[in-house]
């Protein structure tokens, strides 16, 4: 059965108020559409954890630091509806620009510290855009739980922080990264890769896995970093923006996995920016 598509906030509010007054729990899965198995794994987790599930689809202009990237972002609403049909979600919330940012909209949510590094350092304004739209979606949906992918590990930390800092009564649930068989992390941006570039893309994850294994065996981080970057560039990537070992909780840089650690990377392949991260040890 296909889920009702809801475009206005008042309709969403009416639905959610009804559910909550009957004591039902509500889960929300925020997305920008172009749905793949990664998104659908979040929907599945929400279905298992909550009585009612809302998936939101909004390509948020505020989180694109590059207008061309926003224009090129895949838009596949009909396909998305078809993919969601088997899950029996209770609402697909698809607000338009003016619903999210009406004329005169002047508020910016900015999470300090965590957003100065990694993607935040390379995409000015990106995490303010994320934090602003996610705050709105939390408050609009009044959900009890929100589901996010570890694929965007820094984003997961940022939204967890903002919910805590602003006392938004929502539990942020992180879900594992879903990958293609060749290891490439699923991403809506993979649709933008040419067939040739798609064959090179898994080298990013392969190089990261190799580096993580060698770090666990006590390898020197500078040597391993140089080796991994060389491997990624040899595969056809034009630039490795970052490839860092970071503490899972604070994202501070580490030189060895002496505490729970993650390897995080962003790299450009044929004009497409890919990100990935994996646990180390
Ligand atoms: P996006 O549509 O790219 O904004 O992503 C919406 C949500 O899906 C975010 O919480 C992402 O972290 C999550 N997500 C995207 N790709 C994956 C993946 N491969 N595995 C798990 N979650 C993902």
Domain check: are 41 and 108 in the same one? yes
CA–centroid distance, 60 to ligand 1, in Å, is 14
Q: Given pLDDT bands bounded at 50, 70 and 90, which one contains residue 2? A: confident
pLDDT tens digits for 8-44? Answer: 999 999 999 999 999 999 999 999 999 999 999 999 9
CA–centroid distance, 104 to ligand 1, in Å, is 30
Q: Which of 147, 175, 203 is the last residue of a domain?
A: 175
Q: Which of 175, 205, 240 is the last residue of a domain?
A: 175
- Tell me if the pTM is above 0.85: yes
Nearest-atom number in ligand 1 for the CA of 34 is 2
Domain check: are 100 and 20 in the same one? yes
In-domain check, residue 182: no
Domain check: are 115 and 238 in the same one? no
pLDDT tens digits for 176-193? Answer: 999 999 999 999 999 999
Q: How many CB atoms lie within 10 A of CB 44?
A: 16
Domain check: are 219 and 125 in the same one? no
Residue 41 · residue 83 · CB < 8 Å: no
Domain count, the chain: 2
In-domain check, residue 180: no
pLDDT tens digits for 43-65? Answer: 999 999 999 999 999 999 999 98
Q: What is the pLDDT of residue 121?
A: 97
CA–centroid distance, 24 to ligand 1, in Å, is 26
> Which of the listed residues 27, 29, 31, 63 should we mutate to test ligand 1's pocket, taking the one with most ligand atoms within 8 A of CB?
31
Q: Is the dihedral of CA 128, 252, 38, 14 positive or negative?
A: negative
Phi-psi region of 21 (alpha: psi -120 to 50; beta: other; left: phi over 0): alpha
pLDDT tens digits for 99-135? Answer: 999 999 999 999 999 999 999 999 999 999 999 999 9
- Asked whether residue 225 is marked as a ligand-binding residue, the answer is no
Residues whose CB falls within 8 Å of the CB of residue 191, separated by 6 or more in sequence, listed in order: 34, 74
Residues whose CB falls within 8 Å of the CB of residue 168, separated by 6 or more in sequence, listed in order: 135, 138, 139, 162
Nearest-atom number in ligand 1 for the CA of 186 is 19
Q: Pocket around ligand 1: residues whose beta carbon is below 6 Å from it?
A: 31-32, 38-39, 41-42, 148-149, 151-152, 175, 177-178, 185-188
- Asked whether residue 149 is marked as a ligand-binding residue, the answer is yes
CA–centroid distance, 105 to ligand 1, in Å, is 27
Please report, for the domain that includes residue 19, its CATH number.
3.40.50.620
* Domain boundaries, position 259: 188-280
Please report, for the domain that includes residue 229, its CATH number.
3.30.1300.10
> Which of the listed residues 130, 152, 181 should we mutate to test ligand 1's pocket, taking the one with most ligand atoms within 8 A of CB?
152
Residue 269 · residue 237 · CB < 8 Å: yes
Nearest-atom number in ligand 1 for the CA of 148 is 10
């Amino acid at each position: 059965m296909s889920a009702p598509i809801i475009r206005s906030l008042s309709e969403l509010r009416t639905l959610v108020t009804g559910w909550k007054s009957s004591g039902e729990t509500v889960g929300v899965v925020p997305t920008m559409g172009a749905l793949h198995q990664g998104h659908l794994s979040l929907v599945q987790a929400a279905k298992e954890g909550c009585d009612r599930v809302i998936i939101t689809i909004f390509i948020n202009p505020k989180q694109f630091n590059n207008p061309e990237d926003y224009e090129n972002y895949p838009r596949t609403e009909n396909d998305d509806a078809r993919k969601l049909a088997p899950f029996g979600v209770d609402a697909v919330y698809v607000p338009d620009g003016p619903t999210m940012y009406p004329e005169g909209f002047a508020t910016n949510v900015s999470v300090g510290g965590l957003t100065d590094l990694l993607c935040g350092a390379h995409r000015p304004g990106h995490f303010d855009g994320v934090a602003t739209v996610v705050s709105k979606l939390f408050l609009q949906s009044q959900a009890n739980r929100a589901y996010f992918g570890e694929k965007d590990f820094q984003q997961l930390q940022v939204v967890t922080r903002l919910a805590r800092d602003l006392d938004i009564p929502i539990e942020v649930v992180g879900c594992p990264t879903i990958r293609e068989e060749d290891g490439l992390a699923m991403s809506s941006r993979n649709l933008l890769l040419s067939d040739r570039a798609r064959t090179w893309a898994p080298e990013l994850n392969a190089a990261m896995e190799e580096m993580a294994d060698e770090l666990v065996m006590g390898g020197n981080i500078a040597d391993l970093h140089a080796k991994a970057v060389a491997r990624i560039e040899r595969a056809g990537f034009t630039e490795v923006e970052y490839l860092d070992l970071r503490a899972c909780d604070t994202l501070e840089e580490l030189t060895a996995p002496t505490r729970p650690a993650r390897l995080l990377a962003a790299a450009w392949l044929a004009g497409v920016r890919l990100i990935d991260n994996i646990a180390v040890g």
